[in-house]
Amino acid sequence: MAGIQARFRREWPGFCLDVDLGLPGRGVTALFGPSGSGKTSVLRCIAGLERAPQGHLVVGGDVWQDAGRWLPAHQRPIGYVFQEASLFAHLTVMGNLRYGMKRSQGTQHAGFDQAVALLGIGHLLDRKPDTLSGGERQRAGIARALAVNPRLLLMDEPLAALDLQRKQEILPFLERLRDELDIPVLYVSHSPHEVARLADTLVVMDGGRVVASGPLAQTLARIDLPITLGEDAGAVLDATVGELDHLWHLARVDFSGGSLWVRDQSLPVGRRVRVRVLARDVSLAQEPGSSSIQNVLPGCVDAVGDDQHPGLALVRVRVGDAMLLARLTKRSAASLGVAPGRTLWVQMKSVALME
Ligand SMILES: Nc1ncnc2c1ncn2[C@@H]1O[C@H](COP(=O)(O)OP(=O)(O)OP(=O)(O)O)[C@@H](O)[C@H]1O
């Protein structure tokens, strides 16, 4: 499907939303940024719940808004998922899904079946919402949004109301949506972990504007952003499970820059995974050394930037085709001669497998 072109400018007292986005037609695009940066407002403009004068919105080649056209919200083929599923209490899960489908006046059996399968709720269809856990309710809510066969799925912090365990339960279902749906998903989140795990594309917002936008790994590796991710700054690598060490409960994952050992999570050899390496867990050295750190790879400094504290630097290092970030004190950066082009050893104290 062709992508999304969205241009909106809308002023409220004390706040101006001014965005111009070109987004892919598939996969998860995360809208990330501090509270009040305008993420929900972008979703509302796309849904037609907010009207930005002179806005422009094209989804999959169809014009939903421009100078001469305004498609009302109820005619936009979207699914919208909020923090709380807000299912009708008097209807079963099946009844809730059918209600949404009736309202969209279509014959979408394929949408219904796919939604039920993707969210794994076949066994819950006869249950009433008050008999479901928070995570099951949210899965039913997402299935209801998908059952109408939308062209676009909007999700506004869908995990924010769930506790950590429920979040962990539901994340694999969201990964399935990302990998199997043919429509784009716009996903608002405050959580760097969720973004790193789920997103293909990242849009960073601040003060009503887009400050960065692009493929996830590339955008996370930017060191020039006015708002950095602070303690959560780090890189994401695409890798494949290459070997399991049953004795030590470790798994070797391979990426373009080499191999890393991570805690085994019972994933089979050959499985594609994402690996997250936080900048605070990466250090640089002239020699590979003899420390307890197992993951040490040669890299080449690509760029050096300021971090949030004047004593700290954020260093981007190329390892194979991948970019890693390292947080160092400026003093140690100076003593190592850290500068673009310098080759050094990249030591990773902790590496997290995200699937
Ligand atoms: N209808 C409205 N009337 C007045 N101000 C509004 C309206 N809608 C949005 N705003 C303003 O837009 C700003 C951005 O709000 P928005 O909900 O889009 O931010 P957000 O990034 O989604 O925040 P959060 O992460 O806290 O949900 C708010 O601070 C608010 O002042």
* Token reading at 353: 């497998």
**Exposure of 306 in the CB half-sphere (CA atoms within 13 A):** 7
Rounded to the nearest angstrom, the distance between the alpha carbon of 34 and the centre of ligand 1 is: 11
**Predicted local confidence at residue 208, as pLDDT:** 95
From 208-217, 221-230, 295-304, the region with the lowest mean pLDDT: 221-230
Distance 45 CA to ligand 1 centre (A): 12
Alpha helices, DSSP H only, in 199-254?
A: 216-220
Ligand 1 atom at minimal distance to the Cα of residue 31: 21
Query: Is the pLDDT score of 320 beyond 60?
Result: yes
Three-state DSSP at 158 gives coil
Architecture category of domain 234-353 in CATH: Beta Barrel (2.40)
Q: What is the DSSP letter of 133?
A: -
Q: Tokens standing for 243?
A: 């070997």
Question: Considering the domain 4-228 in this protein, what is its CATH number?
Answer: 3.40.50.300
Q: How far apart, in whole angstroms, are the C-alpha atoms of residue 138 and residue 83?
A: 8
pLDDT given at position 108: 55
CA 270 centroid distance within chain:
23
Predicted local confidence at residue 253, as pLDDT: 95
Domain range summary for the chain, segments of one domain joined by +: 4-228, 234-353
Closest CA to 162 of 199, 133, 195: 133
Mean pLDDT of 236-264: 93
In terms of Cβ atoms closer than 10 Å to its own Cβ (0-12, 13-18, 19+), residue 9 is: middle
Residues 144/87, Cβ–Cβ less than 8 Å: yes
Region class of 270: left (phi > 0), else alpha (psi between -120 and 50), else beta: left
> Exposure string (b/e) for 216-236, b if CB count within 10 Å is 16 or more?
bbebbbbbeeebbbeebbbbb
pTM: 0.90
- Atom of ligand 1 at shortest range from CA of 17: 12
Point out the ligand 1 atom lying closest to the alpha carbon of residue 37: 21
Q: Does the pLDDT value for residue 105 go beyond 60?
A: no
Pocket test for ligand 1, best of 39, 50, 154, 203 (most atoms within 8 A of CB): 39
User: Which residue's CA is minimally distant from atom 3 of ligand 1?
Assistant: 12
Rounded to whole angstroms, the Cα distance separating 209 from 212 reads 9
Choose the residue to mutate in 12, 43, 204 for probing ligand 1, maximizing ligand atoms within 8 Å of C-beta. 12
Contact between 62 and 103 (Cβ < 8 Å): no
Question: Is residue 15 in contact with ligand 1, taking CB distance under 6 Å?
Answer: yes
Share of the chain above pLDDT 90, in %: 71
What residues are paired with 274 via a beta bridge?
238
Provide the mean pLDDT of the chain.
90
Q: What are the pLDDT digits (tens) for 19-29? A: 999 999 999 99
Residue 188: pLDDT above 90?
Answer: yes
Q: For 44-90, what is each residue's pLDDT tens digit?
A: 999 999 999 889 999 999 999 999 899 999 999 999 999 888 899 99
Are the C-beta atoms of residues 346 and 319 closer than 8 Å to each other? yes
Is there an atom of ligand 1 within 6 Å of 222 CB? no
* DSSP code of residue 26: S
Using a 6 Å cutoff on CB, does residue 37 contact ligand 1? yes
Asked whether 12 lines ligand 1 (CB < 6 A), one says yes
Q: What are phi and psi of 71, to 5 degrees?
A: -85, 120
pLDDT digits (tens, 9 = 90+) for 130-160: 999 989 999 999 999 999 889 999 999 999 9
Q: What is the pLDDT of residue 79?
A: 93
